[in-house]
Amino acid sequence: MTRDTHAPEAAPIEIDRLLADPGTGIIVCCGSGGVGKTTTAAALGVRAAETGRRVVVLTIDPARRLAQSLGLSELDNTPRPVLGIDTAAGGSLDAMMLDMKRTFDEVVLSHSTPEKAEQILANPFYQALSSSFAGTQEYMAMEKLSQLSHEAAEHGTWDLIIVDTPPSRSALDFLDAPKRLGSFLDGRFIRLLMAPARAGGRAYLKVVTGGITLTTAVMTKLLGGQLLGDVQTFVAALDTMFGGFRQRAEATYALLKDSRTSFVVVAAPERDALREASYFVDRLDQEGMPLAGVIVNRVQRLAAAGLSAGRADAAAEVLGEASVAGTGSATAGLTEGLLRVHADLAETAERHHAQTTRFVAGHPGIPVTEVPAAAQDIHDLDGLREIGAALAVAETPGVTPGLTRDAESRAG
């Protein structure tokens, strides 16, 4: 193995220290979609539980991969114990999947009178809002995190919460959505809708003011009378909860900035995923939120030293020409095929190395852990244990086994 001394390096995340630290109460796994956040969250949960922590993993992944890998038939809004965990160290593992509408219903029930809650839950506009409004999933993920944190503090149910953030178009949506939804519900548009109802009784059906009448007429044309009526009824019923949305969003934001919380940004060794990770790292720094480091998943590594993609291709070409000329050996065809497979893997390894190296160079001082690509999909506890072990025994970023200086130059 040859090491390029000019390549930038960063220390890997000290995963076992992070998981064992009693001062770590929340780990948030974030990143763009398809980078392995769910698997990473589950692997961290299994490793933490088997080293003595009482863990709950919250996933927002609708594909239910977490349930399958943890040996559960299903996951829902209620934490379920994971069987098959080694509890010798005194740890435990629960898992759950966010039910967005049920969580929103819980918020309504806990912050309204029974009469108001019944009106809200039956309202068609609320039913649409709680199921599909942009940003609702991210907001409810924050709400559920807050609920779990309170339960852990009051009852000691868990001492570590691991959150797998929603598979959003942008990883930043997780941080932005609570403010967006709070602003919408506290905003000028909602206050305009609420003004007629606040004017008293059925006064909104009459001319309260010229401005309100005109506004209502315009919105009736835009939204339709039935929809506008549903919105106004919803807003009137939700009046007592407006301040609560903003207050809870602010409280959860404070929880995320607390010293007991650690963010782990998950990425793939590809340009777009690392660019998204870079945005998130910068945003966390701007917000003063604690970053444990970056995990780069599915990194292709080579075991064979000294054979770059270019050299493997060249050797395969020579064997191919010999075969055509009839001068090759009986095993030349097989060797040529293996060389071409190696060349493809080496090219992928070089590209992954180059992308990770650029990221490390652009973020000096940020711990970065590379996880080698698994030979097969992760589908059970043993697979999650292997991922956890790979996270804990991470290789130094910026150094790719199997790459010679010639290959390092091509990768750069």
Could you tell me the domains of the chain? 15-116+134-189+240-304+353-411 (3.40.50.300), 309-345 (no CATH)
Query: Does pTM top 0.75 for this prediction?
Result: yes
**Amino acid 187: pLDDT:** 56
Q: Is the pLDDT of residue 346 over 80?
A: no
Give tens-digit pLDDT for 114-170: 888 888 888 887 887 777 665 677 778 888 888 899 999 999 999 999 999 876 656
Give tens-digit pLDDT for 85-96: 999 999 999 999
Q: Is the pLDDT of residue 217 over 50?
A: no
Give tens-digit pLDDT for 361-392: 999 999 999 999 887 778 889 999 999 999 99
What does the radius of gyration of the chain's CA atoms come to, in whole angstroms?
27
Give tens-digit pLDDT for 73-82: 778 889 999 9
Residue 221 — pLDDT band, cuts 50, 70, 90?
very low
**Amino acid 248: pLDDT:** 75
**Amino acid 28: pLDDT:** 94
Q: How much is the mean pLDDT over the chain?
A: 76
Residue 6 — pLDDT band, cuts 50, 70, 90?
very low
Q: Is the pLDDT of residue 338 over 50?
A: yes
Residue 300 — pLDDT band, cuts 50, 70, 90?
confident
